[in-house]
Amino acid sequence: MKLKNLLLATTLVTTSLIANEFVGYNEIASKLIKENKKAGNYASIEDVKKALDSKDWIVADVRTQLEWASARIKGSVRVGRQAPEKALANFALDDDDNFVKQNLIVVCNTAKRASIEAETFKLMGFKTVKIFDIYSWIDTCNPVTTGYSSKKYKAGTKNKFGQMKAEHCYK
């Protein structure tokens, strides 16, 4: 039922955006990031670390499979870009569509996609929705997990590198 309401709300939002004057992706994303920062919904490194350790939070990555394979925050879940609300429901709802996790941090590279997807997730009924950019995580020397191997990429098979940090962290 929540998914049906979400799809209806998404359709209404999309229709109203198209019906009005077209606004570019960067403009929308920048505006949403600014609004999230002002409202205190731009997660800090500490917020992400606490969310990863909490049973009430989900750290959801909305990046592509290739981006996810190159670097991800250990403990986060990938919901991707195609129907992320459906994928997220698998982690947040029980069989009766009741929330088992009501708080969410949405991650992407620069927080642009995260800010746009966060609007959809708010419509789903999450109690708290914050956004975060993985570049901040990497730049402050937090480790990322990679699915690449020392051989040709094969979805993390063979010799897994596991946890890594940015090169500047080792100097």
Q: Side-chain half-sphere of 152: how many Cα atoms within 13 Å?
A: 0
Looking at the predicted structure, is the pLDDT value of residue 18 above 90? no
Looking at the predicted structure, is the pLDDT value of residue 16 above 90? no
Contact 93, 68 (CB under 8 A): no
Looking at the predicted structure, is the pLDDT value of residue 163 above 70? yes
The sheet carrying 77-78 orders its strands as: 77-78, 57-61, 103-108, 128-133
Confidence tier at 152 by pLDDT (50, 70, 90): low
Pairwise CA distance, residues 107 & 56, whole Å: 17
Taking only the tens place, the pLDDT of each residue in 87-126 is 888 888 888 888 889 999 999 999 999 999 999 899 988 9
Taking only the tens place, the pLDDT of each residue in 26-50 is 888 999 999 999 999 999 999 999 9
The two three-digit tokens of residue 125, written as one number: 């009924």
Average pLDDT over residues 53-63: 95
User: CA 3: distance to chain centroid?
Assistant: 18
Specify the pLDDT at position 21. Answer: 65
How many CB atoms are closer than 10 A to CB 70?
A: 14
Specify the pLDDT at position 19. Answer: 57
Specify the pLDDT at position 156. Answer: 46
The two three-digit tokens of residue 169, written as one number: 């962290």
Taking only the tens place, the pLDDT of each residue in 124-148 is 889 999 999 999 999 999 999 887 6
CA separation (Å) from 110 to 1, 30, 42, 101, 163? 32, 10, 12, 25, 21
- Domains of the chain plus CATH, in order, are 2-20+40-139 (3.40.250.10)
